[in-house]
A and B are shown apart, each in its own frame.
Chain A
Amino acid sequence: MNRCEYCLEHLSSYIDGEMSENEMKEIEEHLKECNSCAYEFNILKTIVSTCSELEEELPDGFSSSLHTRLEKAQADLLAERKRKGKIKVFSQIAAGFILVVTLGFAIRSGFFGGGLVDGRLMSGSKSAPDAAPMAKGPSVVEFSAPKVSGKKAGESTGAAEDGVKNESFATAQGVADAGEQPDNKESEFTIQFSEERAITSSKVKYDTEITIIVDDIGKAIESIMAIDEKVGKSRESNTAYLQDSIQAYRGSTRSNVVELKLVYTSEKVEQCFIKEILSAFPDTQVDSVPSADKDETEDDEEAEEEYIKIIIEKKK
């Protein structure tokens, strides 16, 4: 490559000052000696400096329409959180009902395996842990509620019936499995559990529920974010979950309880996270609850994830 070729090849970097001092000097020397390269340099230099002067002013009203959009974005985030909150409250009302009905049918249909079956309700919920370990304390398990249909079902469902259809709920005192969707054509209120389903649910994965009592919820959330970041390998959605909670918390009502939902890609990472949480917060209770077959029809890709629910309560 002769000097002119070399020079023209590197004019662009020369103009930007993106080369070593020696290289800069070399080009500079050549431009002094070579008219044709100097001419090319001037053309390119003019173009580049014009490019950098192309910046235009913001259109009128840009800031005010932006402000409107930001407010809407903020409102959407809060509304989303509120919507989730409403489902939550309702689900707890429905919980008692679901517990009784589901457990009853689960036992009748042999769901808990060997010891408990024969269509008789043996000893209520306390007999369940043989097959699936139960949570201590007020654990909450989400699952897909069986569809209730037919008038006969109405009698036993009472006030809660309306909400039972197609919604996802939580039950208190973890019921291991809600089972499959019942056959809607049946007017009798029956739920079929398949053999296969019963086997898989005995190897149930665990969700974890962590209750933390703190003085300052805002600070606690920040610490949890920091831990989430430190542990790494969390799903990207954790940030969204956390943001969502924080915005709801700082937004309309400053409540004394905040719930966070986190997802980790493996149990190992999850354990690591819990360990960090335990060392960061003195007043912490960790419960493992069996993960129910929840409403994963919509969320299949998350079926393999480990969920952690964190409840932060303000110290009274």
Chain B
Amino acid sequence: MDATEKRLIELSVSGDIEAFETLIQSHQKKVYNIALRMTKNHEDAQELAQDAIVRAFTSIGKFRGDSSFSTWLYRITMNVCTDFLRKRSKAVLISMEQGAVANDNQQAIQIEEEAPGPDELAEKNQLKKLVRDAMDSLSDEHRQVLIFRDIMDMSYKEIADTLNVNEGTIKSRINRARAGLKKIIMQRSELFQDYVVKYKRKGGNS
């Protein structure tokens, strides 16, 4: 923890809102994105991201500096999100079942694929949509580790510490989550396979 951050935390403990806002400035986007990937919609994501940040503000006195401030904040965010999902677990279950049946994505992609020469950006955006939708179909647990790993860019150890499980568990959980993601994506689109072939040809696998 650097000196500036330490000072901002102290000020936040004393109730200084401005200091707290400076403190979270560089983290709030990630907080929002954790919530967005967890809840799969913008309205809930904004609500929960703010819930998490407000909770961090009111309980910042409990922050002991055992982890970095951002990790602590993300952990609160993840807790807020998992609580929310648990309460709505029934609704989530239903939407997942529907998701498995619906093939809208696939059709949309195939239609666009037939269009002549889509530029790379559009292709990339389609790919993102494909991955994002596939991610939304994963279990909460699998989605969670991928958020930590690929969105938060946390190491296996950091994730393990945050979730209070051992590193081996995280390693295999990430492995299984990605296998699941891949399976869904391959089922849904041929575009993706084409993309991978192109990607390989360009030597973009650095």
Contacts and interface: CB of A to CB of B under 8 A. Distances in A.
B14 to A, nearest CB: 5
Interface residues of A, number: 48
A9 B171 CA distance: 11
A66 B21 CA distance: 9
A285 B12 CA distance: 31
Interface residues of B, number: 53
Interface string B184-195: 011000001101
Nearest to A236: B62
A12 interface: yes
B86 interface: no
B50 A66 contact: yes
- Mostly, the B contact residues are helix
B75 interface: no
A44 B199 CA distance: 12
A12 B175 contact: yes
B178 A48 contact: yes
Contact of A250 (B14, B29, B42, B49): B14
Interface string A239-274: 110110011001100000000000000000000000
Interface in A1-59: 9, 12-13, 16, 18, 38-39, 41-48, 50-59
Interface in B1-53: 13-15, 17, 20-21, 28-30, 32-33, 36-37, 42, 46, 49-50, 53
Interface of A: 9, 12-13, 16, 18, 38-39, 41-48, 50-59, 62-63, 65-67, 69-71, 73-74, 77, 218, 225, 229, 236, 239-240, 242-243, 246-247, 250-251
24 contacts: A16-B174, A18-B156, A38-B200, A39-B200, A42-B196, A43-B193, A43-B196, A46-B199, A47-B131, A50-B128, A50-B131, A51-B150, A52-B151, A53-B128, A54-B128, A55-B33, A73-B54, A74-B17, A218-B14, A240-B59, A246-B13, A246-B14, A246-B61, A247-B14
